[in-house]
Every structure is written in structure tokens, then in C-alpha cells.
Chains A and B, each alone.
Chain A
Amino acid sequence: MTTATAEPQQVDLHEAKGWRRTKNRIMTTLMVIAFVVVLVPLGFVLVTVIAKGASVISWSFLTGGPIPPIVVPAGVGGMGPAVLGTIEITALATVMAVPLGILGAIYLNEYGGRNWLAALIGFMSDVMTGVPSIIMGLFIFTIWVLHFGLSGLAGAFALACLMLPIVIRSSYEMLRLVPNSLREGSYALGATKARVTVTVVLPAAIGGIVSGALLAVARAAGETAPLLFCIGAAASANPNVFSGANTALPSQIFANANQPYTGAQDRGWGAALTLIAICFILMIVARLVTSRFARYSR
């Protein structure tokens, strides 16, 4: 506030007054609200799943079978076949997708450099992460199921197609972080490129790579669409993942979700709780691996 007389000027050092300050506060509040808006549904889902699923979960639910028809109330049979199916199908998909994904990332980072093919593969790999998972299911249905029938293997193929670009991208980012000085040190001792990659680069990046792979596994374990047309709907456990119809937790949840029978719905909640628990555990382990074992991280 200045006065026209000879009195000294008063310097106003307070923050912006009036509308500017209010607007700033409003926007900050909106940003916080945005976060809260996210918290609410997340909380609701988790609370509901835990509340409704916990009453259904029991050892016999997790391991017992066969899966009863939808009209049967909860407490009879169990989801054992689905748990087994999820484990074996996801494991098979992992065994296929993770090594291939790591090798692909090795090509992109260690061999491809700046050449056009590596750029194309990297780009299309990212694009592939955006392909809807149901397309993978239709694809495997077309080239495998039509010829060889439904099986856990077909489901694993579809899940592997889903996981492959995810593993490639995350492994690539981890390999990039390994300092070049390590590679040079290995070359200077007379190692071939393959040796350098396998004995020095890969071990240095392995923590981050494993963590990324675990997240891909969590994603695959929760997917339903790729399995819809590939594994069928077995009611009893099928330990042979290579032939015969199978089932998995997501498939069971989907099948039960639309049913009016409370028994089916209860089993759906139980399966949902089991599935979320599996995904959460995988995610937590992935973060643990990152913090304890990822030597080079962002």
C-alpha cells in the first residue's frame, strides 16, 4: 500500500491476494479430490470382496472339488479345480513367455542398437501391450483349439501372448540400466558378446527383470478373456494341463457373476478373494524383489 505523502512505502510481502490465491487453493483441493476419488472405489471393492468372500473361504473351498452346479448353495464342493487350473495354466504361460521375453529384450538392448528392425520390434511390442486380451483368445482358438481342442495348454498360449510384450518392455528397461563399464570390463577380458550378456549383464539386471516378470504373472493370473474359448469349463480338477478341458479362477468368477443363485454368487466372491490375494501377493513380492535385489533402478 503506497501513500501519496512522504511517508515510507509499505512493502506488501504477503502471498497473492484475493482471487489468485483462492484459485490456487481450489485447484490444489481438486487435485487432492482426484486422489480421493480413486481411493473410494478401490476401498469399496476390496472391502466388499473381503467381506463377502471371507465367509466362503476355507481349506476345503480352496482345495476341494468338484465345482458344484450353480444352483447348489455354498459349502458344497469347492474351487480346488479352479485354483489348480489357475496355478498350472499361469505357470505354463510364465515358462513360455518369460524366457522368450528376456531374450527379446536382450536382442533389443544388446544386439539391436539403433537399427530399424530393433526400433520396429520395440515399437510393435509396446503396441502389442494394448491389444485386447480377448483377441489373444480368439487367435489361439483359431490356430490351436480348432485343431487340437480345448486344453490348459491353449489357455497358456493365449496368456503367454499377453505376457510376452510386457516382459520384453520391463526386461529391456532393466537391461538398459546396467552401466556400460561392466560390459567393457568383460569384453576386455576376452569374452564373447554372448558371454558378456549372460555372465555379466543379465546377472546385474536380474532383480529388476524378475520383478517385472512377477508383475506380468500377476496380470496373467487375473485374465479371463483369453481363457474363455481356450480352456473350456471343467468341473473337476484336471492336472493334465496339456489335454482336456480345464478351468481357472477368473473363468469361474465370470461364470458365477451373472447367476441369480446365492450359492453361485458366494462361490464367485470366494474365488474373487482368492484371486485378488494371489495377485496382491505377487505384486508385493515383486516390490520386495525390487527393493532388495534390483541393483540398478531408476
Chain B
Amino acid sequence: MSTITQVDPAVPAGSTHPLERRRPLGDRTFAIIALASGLLVLVILVLIAVTTTQQSASWFSAEGLKIFTNNWDPSANQFGALAFIYGTAITGVIALIMAVPVSVGIALLLTEVVPYRWSRPIVYVVDLLAVVPSVVWGLWGILVFAPWLNHIYAHIGSAVTGIPVLGSLFGPPTSGASFFTAGIILAFMITPIVTSLSREVIATVPAIDREGAYALGATRWEMIRGAVLPHSQGGIVGAVLLGLGRAMGETIAVALVIGSSPVITSHLFAPGYNMPAVIANQFGEATGVFRAGLMGIGVLLFVFTIIINVIARGIVERNARRKRGA
């Protein structure tokens, strides 16, 4: 029988204690801590949903489907929230109409027009928009911007009175603090995110496609229309949806400039209200069903933004996956 020296591979080489065994206890613990930290995200989201729904239960049961009526009068115990849902939708749409062309324009500027050296400073400037805190936008908005807009609205309002469509959109009543002002400020605030996401999407267009268009003698704009936009449409839609989600959730700036008037009206220059704004402004003094109502509006807001974000992220993911697979 040969006696090959039995060497135990479990014993670390070079160690002074040949019988020393190292169990990977620290290794397992670390892995568990990392997993727990990751799970925290899911736990928090679930807890948010559960606890806020619980707190607003009395509102849902008191009003039932009447929460979707335009009937918000706390002193009369009426809590129909349609006006706020309307306000959130309208300001979101206004913000998108203004922000999307600008954001996509800047994204195209950065990817197609500007030489690389100049793109960094431009990106910095756009990012600066994001660094300005929401409350500062609101402060400037209500103390400087809105009064200035008030004059402009008044002029436009009187000019279009009586004209069929324009009159009902832009006619009086007008006010500096209004749906439209909130929409403008929201547009400023969501431009950075829509721009940066659109840039990422546009950058995934293969260079070959661009060159193909140029090789056919296309001008730059024709190349963009022919090669870049068709490729990036889906992703840009995702970016736009994400911008919408941000716009819907933006609270403080809107709370300051929207006018705090729960009405449903087609007049965009009129004061209005929206979901996060009413919560911010009125939660402090609310009690009982009133408070439950505001909490319930928060629940609705949570659900809406989660849905929009899931759809948007799904679209963006699919676009990224297509690029990786291509």
C-alpha cells in the first residue's frame, strides 16, 4: 500500500495552525445582510401601501365611489376628490406638452449636433435645473413668476374672450397662480430627467444606421427622422412617461403656485388644485375623515404613480434589452 501523504485541502496553506479550520460564517452573515438590505425596498413599498390605505379607510368607506365627484367641502363634510385628480392630470399634460419637445430637442442637440467637447457643459447646465430644490422653484414661482404671468394672462384672456375654443381655454378668469403656471414650472422641473433618459435611448441607435442615412445623401434632420427617431420612439415614450410620473408627484412647487382652488374648469389660466398640493396645504390642520380623505388622496396618488412608473420602466427596460440583444 502506498502511503501518499493525506493533505487536507480544507486546511489553509501557509497558516501556522495546521488544524485550523475556517468556516465561512462571516461570509454567510454578510450575504444575509446584503439580501436584507435589498429586501428593504420591497418591504417599504408594501408597508407604504398597507399603512396609508388603513389610515384612509374611513374616507373610502364614508364616501365610497363619491370620492370621484367634484365635491370637496370639508366644512360640510364633503370629500369628493375629482377636482384634484383633474388638476393632477391637467398640470401633467401641460407640463408634458412643454417639456417633451424641449427635452427631446436638447437630447438630439447633444447626440447629433454638438461636438463632444461642448456636450459636457450643456449637460451640466441641464442638470443644474435638477439641483434647484422644488421649494425654491415654488418661492420664485409665487413671488416673482406668477405676478409677472398674471399680466400676460390678463392680456391674453381679454384678447380671446368670446372666441370659441381659445376663449374657454385661455379666457378669464385668469390668475398668476393657476393650472398653467404650475404646468410651466413642472415643465422646468421634469426637463432634466426626460432629457437624460432620451439621451440614453437615442445613444443606443447604432452608428451604422446613422451612416446609412448619411450615405444616401440625407441632411442631418432627414437622418434624424429616418434613422434615429424610429429607433428611439419606444424608449422616448418611456422617458416621457417617467417625466409624467415626476410631474404628477411634484408637490411643493405646485402647492405654492397652483392657486389652491378646487375647481374643475377648462380655463387653464384659472386657479386650481391638484392631489399632492392639497395634501401639502391642508394636512396639517386636518382631523378625522378630513385627514383620512387627504391620506386617501395620497393613496390614489401612490397607485397612479406606481402604475405609470412600472409601465415607463418596463418600456425603458425593453428598449435596453433590445439593444443588448441586437
Determine whether A and B are in direct contact in the complex, meaning some CB atoms lie less than 8 angstroms apart: yes
Nearest neighbor of B253 in chain A, beta-carbon distance: A224
B113 touching A194, Cβ below 8 Å: no
Judged by a CB distance under 8 angstroms, whether A261 is at the interface is no
Judged by a CB distance under 8 angstroms, whether B66 is at the interface is no
Residues of B within 8 A of A117 (CB): 38
In A144-164, which residues have CB < 8 Å from any B CB?
161, 164
Judged by a CB distance under 8 angstroms, whether B37 is at the interface is yes
A279 touching B139, Cβ below 8 Å: no
Among A112, A221, A283, the residue within 8 A (CB) of B38 is: A112
Interchain nearest-CB distance for A291 vs B (Å): 11
B25-33, B156-164, B166-174: which one contacts chain A? Answer: B25-33
A111 touching B37, Cβ below 8 Å: no
B242 touching A222, Cβ below 8 Å: no
A142 touching B30, Cβ below 8 Å: no
B132 touching A131, Cβ below 8 Å: no
A104 touching B40, Cβ below 8 Å: yes
Among B125, B137, B276, the residue within 8 A (CB) of A45 is: B137
A258 touching B35, Cβ below 8 Å: no
Instruction: Tell me whether A168 and B283 are in contact in the complex, defined as CB-CB below 8 angstroms, given that A41-B188, A133-B251, A134-B276 are known contacts.
Output: no
In B224-282, which residues have CB < 8 Å from any A CB?
224, 242, 245-246, 248-252, 255-256, 276, 279-280
A121 touching B31, Cβ below 8 Å: no
In the complex, per-residue mask of B138-180: 1 if CB is within 8 Å of any chain A CB, else 0: 1110111100000000000000000000000000000000000
Interchain nearest-CB distance for B288 vs A (Å): 14
Instruction: Tell me whether A132 and B26 are in contact in the complex, defined as CB-CB below 8 angstroms, given that A20-B222, A38-B129, A127-B310 are known contacts.
Output: no
Instruction: Tell me whether A276 and B133 are in contact in the complex, defined as CB-CB below 8 angstroms, given that A38-B106, A104-B41, A192-B27 are known contacts.
Output: yes
B109 touching A34, Cβ below 8 Å: yes
Interchain nearest-CB distance for A122 vs B (Å): 9
Instruction: Tell me whether A275 and B133 are in contact in the complex, defined as CB-CB below 8 angstroms, given that A143-B47, A258-B256 are known contacts.
Output: yes
Instruction: Tell me whether A124 and B45 are in contact in the complex, defined as CB-CB below 8 angstroms, given that A228-B283, A275-B136 are known contacts.
Output: yes
Judged by a CB distance under 8 angstroms, whether B58 is at the interface is no
In the complex, A38 Cα to B130 Cα: how many Å?
Answer: 11
In the complex, per-residue mask of A154-183: 1 if CB is within 8 Å of any chain B CB, else 0: 000000010011001000000000000000
Instruction: Tell me whether A194 and B31 are in contact in the complex, defined as CB-CB below 8 angstroms, given that A16-B219, A132-B301, A139-B47 are known contacts.
Output: yes
Judged by a CB distance under 8 angstroms, whether A54 is at the interface is no
In A29-58, which residues have CB < 8 Å from any B CB?
30-35, 37-39, 41-42, 44-46, 48-49
Judged by a CB distance under 8 angstroms, whether B201 is at the interface is no
B48-56, B76-84, B204-212: which one contacts chain A? Answer: B48-56
In the complex, A222 Cα to B134 Cα: how many Å?
Answer: 7
Instruction: Tell me whether A28 and B113 are in contact in the complex, defined as CB-CB below 8 angstroms, given that A197-B30, A225-B280 are known contacts.
Output: yes
In the complex, A228 Cα to B283 Cα: how many Å?
Answer: 9
In the complex, A258 Cα to B125 Cα: how many Å?
Answer: 29
A121 touching B250, Cβ below 8 Å: no
Interchain nearest-CB distance for B56 vs A (Å): 9
Among B27, B131, B248, B309, the residue within 8 A (CB) of A218 is: B131
In A1-45, which residues have CB < 8 Å from any B CB?
15-16, 20-21, 23-24, 27-28, 30-35, 37-39, 41-42, 44-45
A49 touching B131, Cβ below 8 Å: no
A138 touching B42, Cβ below 8 Å: no
Nearest neighbor of A146 in chain B, beta-carbon distance: B55
- Interface residues of B, dominant DSSP: helix
In the complex, A275 Cα to B252 Cα: how many Å?
Answer: 15
Among B109, B127, B249, the residue within 8 A (CB) of A134 is: B249
A42 touching B220, Cβ below 8 Å: no
A132 touching B276, Cβ below 8 Å: yes
B45 touching A190, Cβ below 8 Å: no
In B1-36, which residues have CB < 8 Å from any A CB?
12, 24, 26-27, 29-31, 33-36
Interchain nearest-CB distance for B126 vs A (Å): 6
A228 touching B309, Cβ below 8 Å: no
Judged by a CB distance under 8 angstroms, whether B308 is at the interface is yes
Instruction: Tell me whether A45 and B191 are in contact in the complex, defined as CB-CB below 8 angstroms, given that A24-B221, A130-B305 are known contacts.
Output: no
Residues of A within 8 A of B144 (CB): 44, 48
Residues of A within 8 A of B301 (CB): 132, 134-135
A131 touching B221, Cβ below 8 Å: no
A63-71, A203-211, A237-245, A265-273: which one contacts chain B? Answer: A265-273
Interchain nearest-CB distance for A36 vs B (Å): 10
Using a CB–CB cutoff of 8 Å, the interface residues on chain A facing chain B are 15-16, 20-21, 23-24, 27-28, 30-35, 37-39, 41-42, 44-46, 48-49, 100-101, 103-104, 106-108, 110-112, 117-118, 120-121, 123-128, 130-136, 138-139, 142-143, 161, 164-165, 168, 190, 192-195, 197-198, 218, 221-225, 228-229, 250, 253-254, 256-258, 265, 268-269, 272, 275-276, 279-280, 283
- Known interface pairs A124-B41, A164-B41, A192-B27; 16 further A-B residue pairs with C-beta atoms within 8 A, sorted by A's residue number: A15-B219, A23-B219, A23-B221, A27-B224, A38-B102, A104-B34, A107-B37, A121-B39, A127-B309, A142-B54, A192-B24, A225-B134, A229-B284, A254-B135, A268-B139, A283-B131
**What are 6 contact pairs spanning A and B, CB under 8 A?**
A31-B113, A131-B306, A134-B280, A222-B133, A223-B133, A228-B284
